[in-house]
Structure 1
Amino acid sequence: MNDYIVRATAANHQIRAFACTTKEAVEMAKNIHNTSPVATAALGRLLTAGSMMGSMLKGEKDLITLQIKGSGPIQGLVVTADANANVKGYVFNPDVMLPPNALGKLDVAEALGLGVLSIIKDIGLKEPYIGQTHLVTSEIAEDLTYYYATSEQTPSVVALGVLMNKDNTVRQSGGFIIQLLPDASEEVISHLEEKIKQVTSVTEMFEEGNSPEQILEIILGDLGLQILEKVPTKYHCNCHREKVEKALISVGRKDLQEMIDEGKPVELNCHFCNEKYEFQVTELEGYLKN
């Protein structure tokens, strides 16, 4: 099954909802970055959230970046997504190994530690919108729930999960975001709260054979769920040589001259896909000249 997101509404447009499966994207990220199981789980959760939040963007060129900086051994995560739900990301320290938490699960909270979640939306304005919040549990889903409540004043339920096999391949990955719209009645809010209490874990729901559509049906079926669309999502890096070249030129004349004086080719790596780009001294001289 290919990765995809479903967008839905319920309770006569008092609720909007997104659910997705991201197993292939997270497996690809794991293979690119050679992440440990706990790093895969952390990055996978943020990639899953990023894919859904990207699909919420309106403009074709809009971008959203989710960044976590923490005191734990992972140090941080960065995920970027576009309006077509193309998503990419990386972990500052992909090799982290930790014992399971008290529930016997991968200890993402311990790996991240205390820290800050930043959401950066580049939607074509002069300056990007930046929202920030402290990590409340460092489990990522709850931190995003808190972000939506405090920074966007949108009551939301965010659930994210990554389940790993013993051979360090991704068994399940996905999640959902359910949001109450401003005119939601107390009755609808109470009904949703009761349904959410019955959800144990999103990966368990996938393990039981449920699709993203069926997960939303379980939670919102009693409230007149309407599936609006199904869109593909994938891990995709859009880096290319010209882009890297521009970044190299932007370092300025002084730094370019120092690179030339060293007399060796310069190699730059893309953080998101590990693609290597080599620039010869003669190319550097050309950039400086022009």
Structure 2
Amino acid sequence: MSDYLVKALAFDGQIRAYAVDASATVSQAQQLHDTWSAASAALGRSIVATLMLSAASLTDDERMTVKVNGDGPVGGIVVDGNAQGTVKGYVQHPHVHLPLNDQHKIDVKGAVGTKGFLAVTKDLGLKEPFTGEVPLVSGELGEDFTYYLAKSEQIPSAVGLSVFVNDDNTIATAGGFMLQVMPGADDDVIAKVEKQINAMAPISEQMRAHKTPEEILASICGQDNLKILEKMPVKYACDCSKERFATALASVAPADLQQMIDEDHGAEAVCHFCGKTYRFSEQELRTILKNATQKED
């Protein structure tokens, strides 16, 4: 089945629950950016988290940008998401492979680093986007997104993220879960959920055993306590276009645009998210410069 995300309520609405299978989505990102194992895991976990955060907090045409900037070798990670389950993302240094950590798993903490920040910017259609930023507390990313939700959005949460990378750098599975505690939730319910999360098999093992997002949530909350609200498809897709890059060029300083015209006789723009190249001729740059100058006047 194609990638999809599940929205649910548990324990009569005391817990909001989300889970996603994003294996094909992360696989497409890996292929587009030629990421190696550690970079794949870091970018993939960020994609999985962005899908769930977007599903939990966005509606209609609202958008979200997640930025992870640590002191590890992968550098910055940027992921865009929307309410329709579409994501796109990239990692600054895609060719990062590290020795396995003490648990014999991909060293995501070593790839991302432990000093830096996690920032989430939401474009809710208001005059100014809202950005919440927290320092990295782990580098494993699941704990970092949990910390972000607690500190920036004041929502006690649990976030589990997983990307299993094959020996040839292809993606076997990618997915995760996110539980959010609603105000007034019973302490016994919270304790029960925490106990189940600590006792459950790793997400990657469950997904490799073909467990669905619904089954992963059921293993945490119990089937009888879970009410599935919605299943929505998710995918990797880039919405870049020559028109968008032309708009970006129009915001460049006129002197710099003139320099492109005089020295380069054109310009080339490459999309970070999908690698597509857009070329602008000298005449196209002259038109952009002329229109931009007229607007200033």
Place the TM-score, normalised by the shorter chain, in its bin: over 0.9
1:264 CA drift (Å): 2.6
C-alpha separation in 1, matches of 2:186 and 2:88 = 37
Q: Secondary structure at the match of 2:161?
A: strand
Look up the SS of the partner of 2:57 in the other structure: coil
Write the deviation string for residues 190-231 of structure 1: whole angstroms up to 9, x where unpaired.
111111111241111112221000011111116610011100
Cα deviation 1:231-250 (Å, max 9, x = unaligned): 00000111111111100111
| Aligned residue type for 2:88 | K
In the TM superposition, what is the alpha-carbon distance from 1:164 to its structure 2 partner? 1.0
Letter in 2 for 1:49: A
**Aligned-residue offset at 1:32:** 0.5
| Structure 2 residue aligned with 1:96 | 96
SS of residue matched to 1:137: coil
Once residues 224 and 59 of structure 1 are traced to their aligned partners in structure 2, the CA distance between those partners, rounded to angstroms, is: 26
Task: Give the Å deviation of 1:52.
Answer: 1.3
Hey, what does 2:278 align to over in structure 1? 277
Q: Which amino acid aligns with 1:129?
A: F
CA positional deviation for 1:23: 0.6
Alignment of 1:27-42 (within 5 A): 27-42=27-42
**Deviation of 1:289 (Å):** 1.9
- Asked if structure 2 preserves the Cα contact closer than 8 Å seen for 1:57 and 1:82, the reply is no
Gaps of 5+ in 1: none
The 8 Å contact of residues 240 and 271 in structure 2, kept in 1 or not, is answered as yes
**Structure 2: gaps of 5 or more residues:** 292-297
Give, as a single letter, the amino acid of the residue that structure 2 aligns with 1:190: A
SS at match of 2:239: coil
Return the letter of the residue paired with 1:215. I
User: In structure 2, what is the Cα distance between the partners aligned to 1:76 and 1:43?
Assistant: 10
Secondary structure of the 1:56 match is helix
- Percent same amino acid among aligned pairs? 44
- 2:108 maps to 1:77: no
User: Paired residue for 1:150?
Assistant: 151
Equivalent position of 2:123 in the other structure:
122
Aligned length: 290
- Retained in 2: the 8 A contact 1:116–1:135? yes
Q: Distance in 2 between matches of 1:288 and 1:6?
A: 47
Amino acid at match of 1:271: H
User: What amino acid sits opposite 1:99 in the alignment?
Assistant: P
CA-atom RMSD in angstroms: 1.1
Aligned to 1:48: 48
Task: From the superposition, tell whether residues 25 and 45 of structure 1 become closer, same or farther in structure 2 (CA, over 3 Å).
Answer: same
Deviation at 1:85, TM superposition (A): 1.1
CA deviation after TM superposition for structure 1 residue 72, in Å: 1.0
Mapped to 2, the partners of 1:199 and 1:248 lie a distance apart of 51
Per-residue deviation, residues 103-157 of structure 1 (Å, max 9, x unmatched): 1111110111121101111111221111111111100001001111111111100
TM-score normalised to the size of structure 2? 0.95
Q: Which amino acid aligns with 2:276?
A: E
Contact 2:10 2:221 survives alignment (8 Å): yes
Whole-angstrom distance in 2 between the partners of 1:171 and 1:225: 28
The runs of 4+ residues in structure 1 deviating greater than 4 Å are none
Tell me if structure 2 keeps the 8 A contact 1:69–1:77. Answer: yes
